[in-house]
Structure 1
Amino acid sequence: MGGPNDAAQSRTFEIETAISKMLRIGVMLAAIVIVTGLVQYLVTGDSGYPGDTYPTSFGAMMSGLVAFKAAAVIQTGLLLLILTPVFRVFISLFLFWAERDYRYVIITAVVFVILILSFALGKAG
């Protein structure tokens, strides 16, 4: 008969569906970018960089992407693939905040900080 609990369950289902779609879109976009770079590399036989070198910084990767270098395109696709679940955690933080579920806001914030720290420490090390 449609009580408040039904509305909350409906809202939760909508949020889960939206997050699921976001994850699928992120993975598909990453796959398209990776395949584009791979096809470019297979057709031209050139990564866009001399020898066994490739871009090692975000700036170098972005400039290589603008120049449409195959290795930079592939790396951009991999970066999109890695960032897709990180973006999901970031969005979840705001969704839990909107629902006033502060326990999960704290848990999600801790997870997000750990993810960001792992990227920073991975880059430094």
Structure 2
Amino acid sequence: MKSGAAGHPRLERILAVVLRYGTGLASGVIALGLALAAAGWPAGSNRLAALSGIDVVSAGIALFILLPVLRVALMLAVFLFERDYRYAAIAALVLTIISLGFVFGMQAAVTAA
């Protein structure tokens, strides 16, 4: 019997790669947004004038927030692929809880506005 994620070396490798590159991407997006904001973006009549540096920073922060959700989704996929249904059910439950929190949070934000 496998014991959790420690019994899944493929899962550990996939998660390490996704989290490493995801963190780098989110950090790069935030750095780009800070550079654009420092440079006074948007300037002139540009097509992307509606996108400010702070919007780019917000997108980078959103990427950081999405990384744990992506991790749970990848865990679910790997557990299903390896037919480890007990851990797949746990990952599916966690994804369901995250999804319900998102839906109820968005509903509360819409009704408060």
Which of the five TM-score ranges fits, normalised by the shorter chain? 0.7 to 0.9
Q: What is the distance in 2 between the residues matched to 1:15 and 1:91?
A: 8
SS at match of 2:83: coil
Q: Is the aligned partner of 1:102 residue 2:98?
A: no
Q: Does 1:12 align with 2:8?
A: yes
| Residue from 81, 85, 105 that aligns with 1:122 | 105
Separation in structure 1 between the aligned mates of residue 42 and residue 69 of structure 2, nearest angstrom: 28
Q: Which residue of 2 aligns with 1:81?
A: 64
For 2:32, the aligned partner's letter is: T
Give the RMSD, CA atoms, in angstroms.
2.5
Letter of the 1:94 counterpart = A
What is the aligned residue count? 100
Once the two structures are TM-superposed, the CA of residue 118 in structure 1 deviates from its matched residue by 1.4
Query: Bigger relative contact order, structure 1 or 2, given CA contacts below 8 A and separation 6+?
Result: 1
Asked if the contact 2:33/2:54 (under 8 Å) is kept, the reply is yes
Structure 2 counterpart of 1:100, one-letter code: R
Judged with a 3 Å threshold, the aligned counterparts in structure 2 of structure 1 residues 102 and 14 are, in CA distance, closer, same or farther, namely closer
Aligned-partner Cα distance in 2 for 1:12–1:104? 11
Q: Mind listing any 5+ residue stretches in structure 1 that lack a counterpart?
A: 49-64
Inter-partner Cα distance in structure 2 for 1:66 and 1:88: 34
Gaps of 5+ in 2: 109-113
